[in-house]
Structure 1
Amino acid sequence: MKSSKIYTLGTITSSISIVVSILANIAIVPILLNNLGKEQYGIWLTLSSIFGAMNIADLGIGQSVSKLISQNSDTEDREEYITSIISTAFFTSVMISIVILLINIVISFFAEKILNLDGYNIQNLYIILCVNFLINFVFSIFNNILIGYKRIYLSNILIIIRSILMLVSNYAFFKYSNDIKKLAIVYTVTSVIVFVISIIFIKKRSKGTIISIKAYDKKLLKVILKPGIFFFLIQVSGIIVYNTDNIILTNFIGAEIVALYFSAYKIIDIFMKLIFVVSDNIFPFISALHGKKDIGQIRTLNIITSKVSIIMCVFLSIMYYFFSSEIIDIWLGKGNFIGYDIILVLCLILVINANTHNAGVYINALYKHKKTAYLAVIEAILNLILSLILVNRIGVLGVVLGTLIASLLTSAWFTPYYCCKILGINFKRYFIDVILKNIILAFLFTMLIFIQKQFINIDVFWKLISCFAFNFIIFLILSYGIAFNKIEKSKLKEMYNKVIKPKFRRV
């Protein structure tokens, strides 16, 4: 298949997979909440967070596999070497999985006490979810193999299949049962189906044997595990920041509050995925410009993507804060809204994360991420300590404030500052041009929405969508006029003509 066709398929399926994944998640949350109840759903989320944190056991194997296969897949005589890469990575993951399983079988006997869930009898559920996690853990290697073969469209198809299967299985399951343990088994079966499909995809692409114990190579394992220590530190820090909140809340407050908190956070998580696409998709262009040593173009791109990311955040955060109660009520039903104070802090975290993520993409693309990796570890430790201290004093608000304060003390200022330093951008100019302009934009838009809120009543979905659409048009006009200068407006048009428009033509 021609590379241009593969690229087009990758672009189309990426867009579809994001939409399908988001819609499936939006549909699944109320199904689980309404059928399991707040308490059982809270337990489900807490255990899911525990196993989500165990992804650090990957040790960067997945990324290394993608890179090694990508470097060797276009050469005819390298099929045997690729088999060794896949086999070594697979059997290493299996060995890690066995160790994780044995450790968690022991932990399962004490899980109720550790999580302050005495009397809930979660041991069997814990083990089933552990098995489900391990299947997905090994599956992630196969997903990285597809990416290494430059078959990103197949990886996206797997995401689409998985999202649809999860939605259908949840809907069908609750027609017959509300047993949380049986639900965990259904999730495990779904994971097995996706796992098998991924093997079929790889088998069709590979010319020889995919996996062989004879192809396992200890020397190659060192090559696979070698670099990536700083990316690993960033990954570990991210897991601590985003996967410990549910565990802390269950321990100190109770499982029921986790369901309410997760519902509020889920919207923020969806917004993050949408916003991060802006800088993530520009990564190859940054790398190409860096190869040409065109720092001037990278500077211009950085200012534009910073503005676009923050502008998107400003709109989504303000709309979510003012209409969060209506969004949650329409989505999940009344009685599931956690409070405006927590929503406000989550929105502030969203805005900060958009800016730091954008700066981080440029730092990583230029291979200058050593300092930010160490800082990420400090932030994660601070976040954990502050959350544990504050949760005892002010409850759920303390957990999210712990995340916000830790970020403000570390990455919120250092990451964009360090990015400016690397690119030779005057930080004072950056602050005025990017941050200050968006503060003015946010103030004006907040006043507009505040006035609107006094006169409108949103109680159905179509009113909510109409409100978002109407205000989005107004916001676009405001942001285009306030946030961008003439040169940046010209650059935006150029990026649209070169990057976005051709993709629509291909479609």
Structure 2
Amino acid sequence: MQFKNVFINIGSSYAHIVLSVFMNIMYIPIALHYLGVERYGVWIVLQTFVNFLTMANFGIPTAVTNLMCQSDNYIEKCDILIKGFKILLLICFVLFLFSLISFFTILHLTSWLNSLTYEMKTSSLILIVFFILRIPFQISSAAFIADNKIYVAKIYEFLTIFITFLSLLALVYFKQNLIFLAVLSGILLLILNSVSFLNALKILGIKNCQKSPKPIEARAIYRPGLALFASGMGAIIVWNTDNIIISKFLGFQEVAIYSTAFRLFSFAYMTFGLIYGVFIPYYGKFFGQKDWGKLQNFFNFNIIVIPFIAICVWLVGWLFARDIIFLWLGDYKLYAGSHLYFVLGAYGLVLAYVGVMFNLLTSLNLVKGLVYVTVIEAIVNLLLSVFFVQILGAEGVALGTLIGSISGPLVFLPFLINKNKKLELSFPLNKFIISLFFYVIMLLSLYLLNANEYRLFWKILIVFIYISLFLLFQFLLNKKLFKDIFQLFKMQ
């Protein structure tokens, strides 16, 4: 891996962020205007149900990515990719039959969902079918990442968002219904995923790949895959139950308002995943070489940079949320109130810390104990969200999500890292506590002063001063680390 590859990958990642955020910014107001608030809320809930199917790959693509990154043998990499694809084909066939039976059973037994219109029921079924058909081709990203061509994976991720946006424009132009949208986007995304898979095979040079003298066993893939699936299941449940709970207790209109607020912060959360993707090959490389010093530096660097981005998003997102919503959607009624945005910002900071730790362990297939952490998070989140939504409304769901993330992964993941015998790496607990405490105190002071009600000039000044203080604070706390990371990048 060369130094320029790092910046190509990082540059493409940030280009992906900018273009994807732009598409999403355009998508939501168009969808709201054409569908209306309640119909758009229903569409969000249906997509939420489909998102649960992301669990259907059982962690196989992630396991394949990790195994390929840790292997220096070209023939072995080819074998891992093909074997993973075959496993996903089998899963796809079984899941297709199971999903069809479950879909009609749930609609028949659940009066809440049975009240949906024919348009909504049919479009949701189409979404499910096409999503399942795309599952085997998700393996293509493993080849791109393992070959350190992350920028290729980002191109296909952007094209996925672009196709979704074009499908919405076609829906509006031809004045069709959601069935048309589901069919058009489903077909185009299936074609894109197929092309992505063929491109992955070409990059890896499968045609020229000889048969491995020691073929990898399927269990070497599905065992860590199932472990990753189990550990990630809680996170999927956490991210996809909010809209369902709100629709059940508050109605579909509140779903549209809440999802808009969450989407505003999730634009920034995309940055986390992109940075993780850039560093996955390095985690695998240094872990395979047992170069614990470099691995420690990369991890420490991430535990600083990702939360720094999150605290800036929390600050700007909360201060300017009402203005952004009006400029973006043209209606103050879609602004959910400062309390919701403050809690969502706090959740983003917690998510940043959790994501860095979770990414380290999963990228190295060190998933022992993760399932218990995510289950705790999912249970606490679900129980508290249901409880608080009836008292605080949508803010209660966000609060339940925040407390769940704190009580589970934020508390226990540092201990899993320190106690893992395969990982000679220590979690920087003291600096973590100091940084988190500093960030929270700084934001709470603004919250108590109702700084989001200040005039525009003062809010801009606050942002400038606070971000400067955050940068100075981290520089003074981690001066030696920044120097070591700079030298490490120059060596790659």
TM-score, with length taken from structure 1: 0.81
Once the two structures are TM-superposed, the CA of residue 301 in structure 1 deviates from its matched residue by 5.2
Unaligned runs of 5+ in 1: 211-217, 459-466
Once the two structures are TM-superposed, the CA of residue 229 in structure 1 deviates from its matched residue by 3.5
Counterpart position of 2:340:
342
Once the two structures are TM-superposed, the CA of residue 299 in structure 1 deviates from its matched residue by 5.3
Counterpart position of 2:136:
138
Once the two structures are TM-superposed, the CA of residue 48 in structure 1 deviates from its matched residue by 0.7
Q: Which one-letter code corresponds to 1:61 in the other structure?
A: I
Counterpart position of 2:40:
41
Once the two structures are TM-superposed, the CA of residue 262 in structure 1 deviates from its matched residue by 0.5
CA distance in 2, matches of 1:272, 1:118: 32
CA distance in 2, matches of 1:104, 1:435: 44
Counterpart position of 2:169:
171
Once the two structures are TM-superposed, the CA of residue 84 in structure 1 deviates from its matched residue by 5.2
Q: How does 1:95-174 map to 2 (within 5 A)?
A: 95-107=93-105, 109-110=107-108, 113-115=111-113, 117-118=115-116, 122-147=120-145, 151-174=149-172
Q: Which one-letter code corresponds to 1:378 in the other structure?
A: I
Q: Is the 8 A contact 1:359 1:415 kept in 2?
A: yes
Counterpart position of 1:213:
none
Counterpart position of 2:211:
none
CA distance in 2, matches of 1:431, 1:219: 40
Q: Is the 8 A contact 2:107 2:114 kept in 1?
A: no
Q: Is the 8 A contact 2:81 2:139 kept in 1?
A: no
Q: Deviations over 1:364-422 (max 9, x none)?
A: 46665423331111211221222223333433222222212222322232324554666
Once the two structures are TM-superposed, the CA of residue 34 in structure 1 deviates from its matched residue by 1.4
Counterpart position of 2:221:
224
Once the two structures are TM-superposed, the CA of residue 444 in structure 1 deviates from its matched residue by 6.8
CA distance in 2, matches of 1:393, 1:453: 25
Counterpart position of 1:455:
455
Structure 2 residue 477 is the aligned partner of structure 1 residue 480: no
Q: Which one-letter code corresponds to 1:331 in the other structure?
A: W
CA distance in 1, matches of 2:77, 2:359: 32
TM-score, with length taken from structure 2: 0.83
Q: How does 1:62-461 map to 2 (within 5 A)?
A: 62-66=61-65, 75=74, 81=79, 85=83, 88-107=86-105, 109-110=107-108, 113-115=111-113, 117-118=115-116, 122-147=120-145, 151-202=149-200, 204-205=202-203, 220-278=217-275, 281-288=278-285, 290=287, 302-334=299-331, 335-364=333-362, 368-416=366-414, 418-419=416-417, 423-424=425-426, 427=429, 429-430=430-431, 433-442=434-443, 450=451, 453-456=453-456
CA distance in 2, matches of 1:20, 1:34: 22
Once the two structures are TM-superposed, the CA of residue 241 in structure 1 deviates from its matched residue by 0.4
CA distance in 1, matches of 2:473, 2:105: 55
SS in 1 for 2:30: helix
Counterpart position of 1:32:
31
Q: Which one-letter code corresponds to 1:313 in the other structure?
A: A
CA distance in 2, matches of 1:185, 1:398: 36
Counterpart position of 2:50:
51
CA distance in 2, matches of 1:379, 1:72: 33
Task: Indicate how the Cα distance of structure 1 residues 227 and 374 shifts in structure 2: closer, same or farther if over 3 A, else same.
Answer: same
Task: Indicate how the Cα distance of structure 1 residues 77 and 424 shifts in structure 2: closer, same or farther if over 3 A, else same.
Answer: closer
Q: Is the 8 A contact 1:14 1:156 kept in 2?
A: yes
Q: Is the 8 A contact 2:13 2:275 kept in 1?
A: no
Counterpart position of 1:463:
none
Tell me the number of residue pairs that the alignment of Structure 1 and Structure 2 aligns: 481
